Amino acid sequence: MLSTVLIVKDLWVKYFTSSGVINAVSGVSFSLSRGEMLAVVGESGSGKSTIGYALLNMVPKPGRIVKGEILLDGVNILKLSEEELRKIRGSKISIVFQDPFTTLDPLRKIRDQFIEFLMEHGIDKNNALKIAREYIEAVGLTERVLDSYPHQLSGGQKQRVSIAMAISLNPSVVVADEPTTALDVVVQKQIMDLISDIKRRYSSSFILITHDLALALERADSVMVMYGGYVMEMASKNELAKNMVHPYTKALFESLPRIKQRTLPKYLTGYPPDLRNPPPGCIFHPRCPFASEKCRIMKPELVEISKGHFVACHFAR
């Protein structure tokens, strides 16, 4: 049986802004096995990135994790001190951002940044250089890249460097937050191929954060669909591909362009909820074509409709 590397239990995250409290993540639970890729999918503002930050216990201010447990290799990271957290970030759990400059300092050579990152995690200088070389090659770059400044590299190369750093200490979990969104289509595929290859080679576990359900179904092992901070549906990729149940998942799927079938996409109408003042009942009801009176009043629980397939909809069955 595959071992579980990450368990998230009943996670709640809020942003306490001057104009009100934003309920960004509401009661989210999931787990991740070694070698698994879980895609977190949803429209802009659904809480995906906030989950990514929460997994490293670095939700930016004015945000705060108000409830929940995040067990990484059995340790609740929400109970760790700032110093303990600094040690595990990058070594036990790491993150790759949409924009590589979130990780890379534009003013310093890749070599110096990479070595410093490794040394901060207790690796001595000689070993650090060895590891940097090894992982730069593992992501398909040549050693010459180490002597470059970030601006001398293409977007795809910079993202490869970020990935090399993120996997160099063999973390249990890598969070990839829209890792290909800023790249052109050809490079997007190359980077996703690289991530799939790393997952296979190192049995790494990935959380892939994406707005793109097609990408999730193509690459991930399991998919969690978020809307307004809540999980709407969660299942293995294979199960979801053949049996989408939640009206929101279906709407996301229908909005994907289908060039081959030449069908016109049906877009979701209406807007995502205001998370300062979310609608009562099912958070999706104002945009749901099937909403009934019950949906306007009662929040549906996330229920397991078949083994490992969870849906939050009164009409799931």
Ligand X SMILES: Nc1ncnc2c1ncn2[C@@H]1O[C@H](COP(=O)(O)OP(=O)(O)OP(=O)(O)O)[C@@H](O)[C@H]1O
Asked if 63 touches ligand X (CB under 6 A), the answer is yes
Residues of this chain, 236-295, that bind ligand X according to CB under 6 A: 275
Phi/psi at 94 (5° precision): -135, 170
Q: Is the peptide bond prior to 62 cis by the omega test (within 30 degrees of 0)?
A: yes
CB of residue 241 vs ligand X: minimum separation in angstroms? 22
CB of residue 86 vs ligand X: minimum separation in angstroms? 21
Q: Which one of 44, 81, 142, 261 is in contact with ligand X (CB under 6 A)?
A: 44
Q: Which one of 38, 48, 174, 223 is in contact with ligand X (CB under 6 A)?
A: 48
Asked if 50 touches ligand X (CB under 6 A), the answer is yes
Asked if 46 touches ligand X (CB under 6 A), the answer is yes
Kindly list the distances between the CA atom of residue 41 and the CA atoms of 1, 48, 198, 314, in Å, as whole numbers in the listed order. 26, 7, 21, 21
Asked if 222 touches ligand X (CB under 6 A), the answer is no
CB of residue 209 vs ligand X: minimum separation in angstroms? 7
Asked if 49 touches ligand X (CB under 6 A), the answer is yes
Asked if 171 touches ligand X (CB under 6 A), the answer is no
Contact segment (CB under 6 A) with ligand X among 41-49, 152-160, 196-204, 307-315 equals: 41-49
Q: Which one of 2, 10, 17, 147 is in contact with ligand X (CB under 6 A)?
A: 17
60 or 122, CB closer to ligand X?
60
Asked if 211 touches ligand X (CB under 6 A), the answer is yes
Q: Which one of 5, 32, 42, 123 is in contact with ligand X (CB under 6 A)?
A: 42
Q: Which of 70, 62, 65 is nearest to 89 (CA)?
A: 70
- What is the DSSP secondary-structure string of 84-120? HHHHHBTTTEEEE-SSGGGTS-TTS-HHHHHHHHHHH
C-alpha–C-alpha distance, residues 8 and 14, integer Å? 16
Number of amino acids touching ligand X (CB under 6 A)? 17
CB of residue 285 vs ligand X: minimum separation in angstroms? 18
Contact segment (CB under 6 A) with ligand X among 55-63, 70-78, 108-116, 164-172 equals: 55-63
- For 149-157, which contacts have Cβ atoms below 8 Å and span 24 or more sequence positions? 149/106, 149/107, 149/108, 149/109, 149/110, 150/100, 150/101, 150/104, 150/105, 150/106, 150/110, 151/106, 153/110, 154/187, 155/100, 155/182, 155/183, 155/184, 155/187, 156/183, 156/187, 156/190, 156/191
Positive or negative, the CA dihedral 144, 148, 151, 152 is negative
Q: Which residue ranges make up the site for ligand X (CB under 6 A)? A: 15, 17, 22, 24, 42, 44-50, 60, 62-63, 211, 275
